A and B are shown apart, each in its own frame.
Chain A
Amino acid sequence: MRHHPSVRSLSSASFVLGIAAAFAARADSGVGVDTWRANKLDPAAGATALGCDERGTSWLVEGQHRSPTGNLYACPPPSPQPDEHGDWQGYGVLQIGALGTSGDDGNALFNRYVDWDSGLILGLLDYTWERPADGTYANVRASHISDDDEYYQATFGRAGSYKIQAFLRDMPNVLSNNAKPIWNGVGTNRLTLPSSLVAGASTAADVAAVSAATPERRLSVRREKQGVGVSMYLTPQWTWYANVTDEERKGARPYGGPFFFNYPFADDGGVLETTKPIDDATINLNGGLRYAGTTWRMDLGYSGSFYRDRYTRYTYETPFALYPVVPDAVSAPLTTGQMATEPDNDYHNLKAAFTRKLPLNGELSLTASAGRMSQNDALIAPIDCQGVFGIGLNGSLELGPQNPFLYDCSKWNTTASLSRPTSDMRIDTTLVDARIVLQPTSDWTLRGGVRLNREDYRNTYLAYNPLTGQYGYVSENGAQGSVVPGESGIFDPLAGASAITRVSSLPLDMQTEEASVGADWKIGAHDTLGATYTFNRYAPTNRERGNADDNSVKVTWVNRSLDWLTFRANATVLKQTGDRYNDDPYGFTYSIGLPGFVPPSGGVPAHTVDALRKYDLASRDERKINLMATVQPRDDMTISASVRGDWNDYDAELGRQAYNTLGMTLQWEWQPSTRTNASLYYGYDRSGLRLANVNELNASGSDPSLGGSTYPELGRWWADDRQRNHNAGATLAHDIGRVRVDANWNMLYSRGTTAYTYASSLAPAYPDPGVTGAGGGAFPSMIYRVNTLNLGITVPLMERISLRLFDIYERGHISDWHYLGFDATRVFDHRVYTDGGPESYDANLIGLLVTIRL
Chain B
Amino acid sequence: MIAHRHPRSALLAMLLVIAWLPVGASDLLDLRGIEAIHGDVDAGKTKAAVCMGCHGPVGVSPVPTFPNLAGQHAEYLYWQLMELKREARPESPMTAQVAHLDDAAMRDLAVYFSSLPAAIPTQGTTSSVRGSQLYGEGDASAGIPPCQGCHGRNAEGHPLAQGDAHWRAYPVLRGQHAAYLAQRLKDFQNGKHTLSSNDRIMTPIAQTLDDASITALAAWLESPTR
Contacts and interface: CB of A to CB of B under 8 A. Distances in A.
Contacts of A10: 4
A665 B18 CA distance: 39
A739 B16 contact: yes
A11 B4 contact: yes
Interface string A43-62: 00000000000111001111
A62 B4 contact: no
B20 A736 contact: yes
Contacts of A805: 8, 11-12, 15
B30 A739 contact: no
B33 interface: yes
A803 B198 CA distance: 35
A805 to B, nearest CB: 7
Nearest to A675: B23
A102 interface: yes
Given A7-B1, A102-B1, A795-B15, A737 B23 contact: yes
B32 A737 contact: no
B162 interface: no
A59 B23 contact: no
A59 B1 contact: no
B142 interface: no
A311 B88 CA distance: 78
Contacts of A793: 12, 15
A795 B23 CA distance: 12
Contacts, number: 60
B166 A736 contact: no
A738 interface: yes
A736 B12 CA distance: 14
A853 to B, nearest CB: 16
B28 interface: yes
B7 A55 contact: no
B197 interface: yes
A59 B21 contact: no
B22 A737 contact: yes
A56 B28 CA distance: 13
A64 to B, nearest CB: 12
Interface in B18-39: 18-23, 26, 28, 30, 32-33
Interface in A787-807: 793, 795, 803, 805
B200 interface: yes
A737 B19 contact: yes
B201 interface: yes
Interface residues of B, number: 26
Interface in A46-85: 54-56, 59-63
B30 A62 contact: yes
Given A54-B26, A102-B1, A62 B33 contact: yes
A174 B17 CA distance: 41
Given A10-B4, A55-B28, A739-B16, A62 B22 contact: no
A100 B7 CA distance: 14
A59 B33 CA distance: 11
Contacts of B8: 805, 846
Given A54-B26, A62-B30, A795 B1 contact: no
A31 to B, nearest CB: 28
Interface string A206-232: 000000000000000000000000000
Q: How would you classify the secondary structure of chain B's contact residues: helix, strand, loop or mixed?
A: helix
B107 to A, nearest CB: 21
A795 B18 CA distance: 7
A14 B10 CA distance: 14
Contact of B19 (A14, A55, A60, A738): A738
Contacts of A14: 7
Contacts of B18: 737-739, 795
Interface in A730-781: 736-739, 741
Contacts of B33: 62-63
A55 B200 CA distance: 11
Nearest to B26: A54
Nearest to B141: A236
Nearest to B22: A737
Contacts of A739: 15-16, 18-19
B32 A62 contact: yes
Nearest to B203: A59
A59 B12 contact: no
A375 to B, nearest CB: 50
A56 B32 contact: yes
B206 to A, nearest CB: 14
Contacts of B19: 736-739, 741, 795
Contacts of A795: 15, 18-19
A795 B30 CA distance: 27
Nearest to B19: A739
B11 A59 contact: no
B126 to A, nearest CB: 30
A7 B21 CA distance: 35
Contacts of A9: 4
Contacts of A63: 32-33
A55 B28 CA distance: 9
B15 A803 contact: yes
Given A54-B26, A62-B32, A737 B12 contact: no
Contacts of A61: 32, 166
A737 B201 CA distance: 29
Q: Among B11, B18, B21, B26, find the residue whose CB has the most chain A CB atoms closer than 10 A.
A: B18
B33 to A, nearest CB: 4
A9 B2 CA distance: 11
Interface string B71-97: 000000000000000000000000000
B32 A60 contact: yes
Contacts of B22: 737
A4 to B, nearest CB: 15
Which residue of A10, A59, A795 has the most chain B CB atoms within 10 A of its CB atom? A59
A737 B166 contact: no
Contacts of A62: 30, 32-33, 166
A805 B18 CA distance: 14
A63 B11 CA distance: 35
Interface string B33-50: 100000000000000000
Interface in A88-112: 100, 102
Given A61-B32, A805-B12, A738 B21 contact: yes
A737 B21 contact: yes
A7 B3 CA distance: 11
Nearest to A807: B8
A123 B16 CA distance: 24
A11 B10 CA distance: 14
Interface string B151-170: 00000000000000010000
A100 B3 CA distance: 13
A607 B155 CA distance: 81
Contact of B20 (A54, A59, A60, A737): A737
Nearest to A7: B1
Contacts of B21: 737-738
Nearest to A15: B7
Nearest to A10: B4
Interface in A1-59: 7, 9-11, 14, 54-56, 59
Nearest to B198: A59
Contacts of A741: 19
Nearest to B149: A60
Contacts of B28: 55
Given A10-B4, A54-B26, 9 more contacts: A11-B3, A55-B28, A55-B30, A56-B32, A739-B15, A741-B19, A793-B15, A795-B15, A795-B19
26 contacts: A9-B4, A10-B4, A11-B4, A11-B7, A54-B26, A55-B28, A55-B197, A59-B32, A60-B32, A60-B201, A62-B30, A62-B33, A62-B166, A63-B33, A102-B1, A736-B16, A737-B20, A737-B21, A738-B21, A739-B19, A741-B19, A795-B15, A803-B15, A805-B11, A846-B4, A846-B8
Interface of A: 7, 9-11, 14, 54-56, 59-63, 100, 102, 736-739, 741, 793, 795, 803, 805, 846
Top 3 closest pairs, chain A to chain B, by CB:
A62-B32, A739-B19, A62-B33
